[in-house]
Amino acid sequence: MPNDFIDRSRLTLPIHDLIERSPTPHSITNRRLDLSKKKHRKPSAPLQTVFVGVAVRERPDLDDRGAEYAIAVSDGSGIVQSEHSFRPKGETAVDALEYMFDLADKYTSQRGHKISIVAVARTLDGLDPSLTFYADKERRDTNVHFLTRVWLHLDAIPFLSSREAAEGKFSLDGQATAAIDEALATLVPMATSTVKITLSPLRQVLVDADFRVRLYGLALLRQVTSPALWSAFTSLGDALAAQKTNISFFSATPRGGGVALMRHSLMRVWHMTGLDVRWFVPDGDPSVFNITKRKFHNVLQGVAEPDILLHEDDMELFEAWTAHNFKRYWSGEDSPLRRLDIAVIDDPQLTALIPIIRRESPRTKIVYRSHIQIRSDLIDKGVSQQKTTWDYLWGFIKQADLFVAHPVEEFVPQVVKDTMPVVYMPPSTDPLDGLNKPLRREHMNGYRHSFDSAAHSSDGRHVDWMRGYIIQGIPDLVEGYRLFREELAKSNSPGPAPQLIMTGHSSVDDPDGTMVLHQLQEQISDEKFAKIRDDIFGIRAPPSDRLLNAMLRGADVVCQVSTREGYEIKVTEAIHKRKWVIASNAGGIPLQVRQGRDGEIVETSDPEAIARALVKFYSSDKHTSSRNEMTANDVDHVRGGRDGEAGDGPSERDLTTGNASMWHLVFAKLVGISGHIELPDETKAILDRLEISRDGKLACDLSSIQDQRIWEVLVKGFDEQKKR
């Protein structure tokens, strides 16, 4: 199979001297990985985690051999198996990589192992990161490069080791070993997660281990994107990159919540396109996060207890913490604020940074991005609890140039609409990351085993996977599930009833994360839950995005019945997996669900409606397709979103490429496009259709997008021929 992982034109000599360090076929004792099946291993036994390092190089000095390769298998403490040899004459490094991929796949299935990391030694010029990924606008490349196949097929984290690690070792064997040692030092103990958090001294989030973890390239991203959206994405992005637009996002935390997940995906994509976008986070503090969660978020959403009020000392602590982070990380000579064209502030946690940026860099355009459902009705009515918090935060927010909200007008207080430009944009999820990528059945089973182990450690119970389960939820779902079970009992339904699983990750800035699980335990301790209590599981998930992916894919039905919600992108993640969704009519949730096509909308705080929807689902033929864990789950055919109302799956508006394109439009409107850069005709046409200045004179002209849903504006700029 052809492979775009290596640029053939650059496959020349290895980094080090061939003559001094290259073995001959006679000097190598051919070692082979043991591919024999373990005789006494039970099929139900959990997979043993291993880590793999690979190295390959061309050998033009040998007339009777092809590429040289080495593969090393580590259990985390040392090398347990290895293979070092040559490919037959005529085979290149590309062929050797193919051989090693197949070898690794066979090794895992035969030996009962799960490869967690595949680390590739930097032993060829063609492995330069700048050549690993590219956006080819002229052709639609259907090949999937080596690193992405590692991610999709082996479900292992693909890691590109440093040149220093390769150069410091004598042999190819040593380079393969050094690659996995470096990967383990960089990624462990988070090897089960795709989100390994690394920060620079300036608190910049170095996504994907500073982009040495390579999940996918632009070629694959293009395959799961419609031609019209891809054209807009690349045209706007290329124009911004050509004029060296500098953009930074500032948010509360690098891990956990939905905002952090979105930022990881966007940084990954923007890095591949060459756009200069960075992401910074403060040094968090539990006392401050207690204020921002309970007295900012919860109050603005209208879910705080009546006695929760924002006091003067809370304000002083919040501002002192912001000033501390600015002085310690962002005020020096190398401050990211000094050369910033656009700053995006995510949610209230860093609103006090807005006047600091305004003071330090007056030319910087500032965007405030709100990700929550703000009870604007209570603020507009002057309800004391909400108005006190809002008035305080508004003192900072009103100094921004643009307010970006979820696409629900009710989330924006009237004072914002009257005072500053407002646009509406949904959040997004990445169809190719750990939460959404397809998973092979054996990997699904492995994640089930991990979840079951966590459940058993929690309270001694095991999940009965053969019974099926309903996933996600809050107290309303628990009560709805109880009523549903009562209906099943009355109808004498054959077979065992499905279980209920409530699980997820908490954000580090959310002190209420585990409180939900405590509330669940209190709720089901009521006598009316006695008969079904053992069928309800509520645990904090182990730190693995792919485990949550597997749990969602294995569910019969997904319920997202929040009473107060911003957008809840988990709904889109479920629809992407072709799961039937029972969702509440709250926030932006209904915007994602086509009634009767993707799921059913129920009113908020109505357990009886939830129970009826569950009965209806289990009585319908939708039960069969939604319950099939392999629906829309093929590693050879990764799925994106639909580009209109027809078709299955979520709208590509709610996926990463759509979200990045909307940001491109906003950025271009804020700074304009310089008349001094060369642009292709296709890009000029898109800029003109979107009314974006091409002479740099109309910077911050937001008139054509003000009060608009950005996706709808973007679609107007699509190339009509590509839309067809």
Domains of the chain, first to last: 8-191 (3.30.420), 194-430+660-724 (3.40.50.2000), 441-637 (3.40.50.2000)
User: Above 70 in pLDDT, residue 10?
Assistant: no
Per-residue pLDDT, averaged over 635-662, amounts to 95
Q: How much is the average pLDDT of 670-688?
A: 92
Which pLDDT value is given to residue 102? 93
Say which residue, 664 or 567, is predicted with more confidence.
664
Which residue did the predictor score with more confidence, 517 or 373?
Answer: 373
Residue 456 and residue 460: Cα distance in Å, rounded? Answer: 4
Phi and psi at residue 603, to the nearest 5°: -70, 155
Could you read off the pLDDT of 502-518 as tens digits, one per residue?
A: 987 654 444 445 567 77
3-state helix, strand, coil in the chain (%, to 5): 45, 15, 40
Q: What is the pLDDT of residues 595-608, one digit of tens each?
A: 999 999 999 999 99
Asked if the model's pLDDT at residue 256 lies above 70, the reply is yes
Higher pLDDT, 454 or 623: 454
C-alpha to C-alpha distance for 324 and 321, rounded to whole angstroms: 5
Mean pLDDT of 198-202: 94
- Confidence bin at 21 (pLDDT 50/70/90): low
Instruction: List the single range of 54-58, 358-362, 407-411 with lowest mean pLDDT.
Output: 54-58
The pLDDT tens digits for 420-458 are: 999 999 999 999 999 999 999 999 999 999 999 999 998
- When the pLDDT of each residue in the chain is averaged and rounded to a whole number, the result is 88
Question: Tens digit of pLDDT for each residue in 336-347?
Answer: 998 899 999 999
Q: Residue 233 pLDDT > 50, yes or no?
A: yes
> What is the rounded distance in angstroms from the CA atom of residue 276 to the CA atom of residue 267?
9
pTM for this one? 0.92
C-alpha span between 399 and 366 (Å, rounded): 8
* Whether the predicted pLDDT of 299 surpasses 50: yes
**Inter-CA distances, 122 with 14, 94, 692, Å:** 9, 14, 42
- pLDDT higher than 70, residue 144: no
Residue 533 near residue 570 (C-beta atoms within 8 A): no
Q: Distance between CA atoms of 96 and 133, rounded to whole angstroms? A: 20
For residue 418, give the nearest of 382, 376, 384, 374 by alpha carbon. 376
Q: Residue 708 is encoded by which pair of tokens?
A: 């608009």
What's residue 39's pLDDT? 75
Burial tier of 720 (Cβ tally within 10 Å: 0-12, 13-18, 19+)? exposed
